[in-house]
């Protein structure tokens, strides 16, 4: 099984680029599933039903999210009826939607996708490790799904790494999102789980994590600043391609993927 995961889409230009490229990438990379984090796709803050539908129409099987999932109010009435749009499993009770979905390919292989958000330097969410324990008490690799992908949306690299090791051997892959900067630590953990601390964003890297530079700089200098707005330069698509062994559900390889924009392009060498 081969999975393409694209990191946080930031703004319209990155969104349009991802929508245009996803069908081609799915074919060129011979991917069985495509997953994308969409939580910043609407002007850098949240996502709308129309954007979700366009991303699904381009070939995405599942959309993950994070702390910005509720920024557009209309998503609250959409998410209960679209199970393939996830919000973190450890959002407090009372919020609509789900943080887990199982999708199947044409051959009947089952991929479970889990979306979770961390606790350090983030808002007040339920304990991430407790939430994972609850989730994987009923979702077991090999029994309930042939592969399990986990999007860990969080700020602290140490916390994401701890989660990766905690889930090692129980899931196929743990990939971080949220910081919008691709890390260079893609590897397979000791018990067979593919891991990367952050997949990076799909957005303009001539920016401050996808936003216009000057307003961000002024905020850090504690000067009066306006609202952050999405940088409008040429976007880069960032993500990973993961190969999973059908028999075990564990990872065979993980390769970074980058296309377009300012970052050096990387195309996975596939076996």
Residues identified as active-site: 68
How far is Cα 121 from Cα 110, in angstroms, rounded to an integer?
A: 34
| Residue 122 DSSP label | S
Tokens 């979700």 label which residue? 52
How far is Cα 4 from Cα 1, in angstroms, rounded to an integer?
A: 10
88 touches 52 (CB < 8 A) = no
Residue 57's Cα: distance from chain center in Å?
Answer: 18
How far is Cα 259 from Cα 239, in angstroms, rounded to an integer?
A: 9
Q: Helix 157-167 and helix 128-136: axis angle, to 10°? A: 20
How far is Cα 194 from Cα 11, in angstroms, rounded to an integer?
A: 28
Which residues on adjacent β-strands are paired with residue 151?
115, 175
| Residue 265 DSSP label | P
The CA radius of gyration of the chain, in Å to the nearest whole number, is 17
Residue 82 in tokens: 């679209």
Taking phi first (over 0 means left), then psi (-120 to 50 degrees means alpha), and beta for anything else, what does residue 59 get? left
DSSP assignment string, 36-56: EE-TBTTTTS---HHHHHHHH
């Amino acid at each position: 099984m081969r999975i393409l995961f694209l990191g946080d889409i930031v703004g319209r230009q990155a969104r349009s680029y991802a929508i245009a490229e996803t069908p081609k990438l799915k074919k060129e990379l011979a991917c069985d599933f495509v997953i994308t984090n969409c939580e910043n796709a609407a002007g850098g803050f949240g996502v709308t039903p129309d954007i979700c539908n366009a991303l699904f129409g381009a070939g995405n099987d599942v959309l993950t999210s994070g702390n910005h999932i509720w920024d557009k109010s209309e998503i609250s009435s959409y998410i209960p009826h679209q199970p393939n749009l996830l919000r973190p499993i450890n959002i407090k009770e009372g919020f609509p939607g789900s943080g887990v979905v199982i999708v199947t390919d044409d051959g009947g292989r089952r991929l479970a996708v889990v979306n979770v958000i961390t606790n350090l330097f983030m808002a007040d969410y339920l304990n991430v490790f407790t939430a994972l324990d609850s989730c994987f008490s009923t979702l077991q690799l090999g029994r309930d799904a042939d592969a399990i992908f986990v999007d860990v949306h969080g700020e602290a690299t140490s916390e994401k790494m701890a989660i990766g090791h905690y889930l090692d051997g129980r899931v196929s892959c743990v990939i971080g999102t949220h910081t919008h900067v691709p890390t260079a630590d893609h590897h397979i953990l000791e018990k067979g789980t593919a891991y990367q601390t952050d997949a990076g964003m799909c957005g303009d890297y001539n920016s401050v994590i996808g936003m216009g530079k000057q307003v961000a700089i002024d905020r850090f200098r504690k000067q009066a600043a306006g609202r952050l707005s999405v940088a409008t330069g040429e976007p880069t698509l960032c993500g990973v391609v993961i190969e999973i062994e059908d028999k075990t559900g564990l990872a065979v390889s993980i390769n970074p993927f980058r296309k377009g924009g300012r970052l050096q392009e990387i195309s996975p060498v596939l076996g």
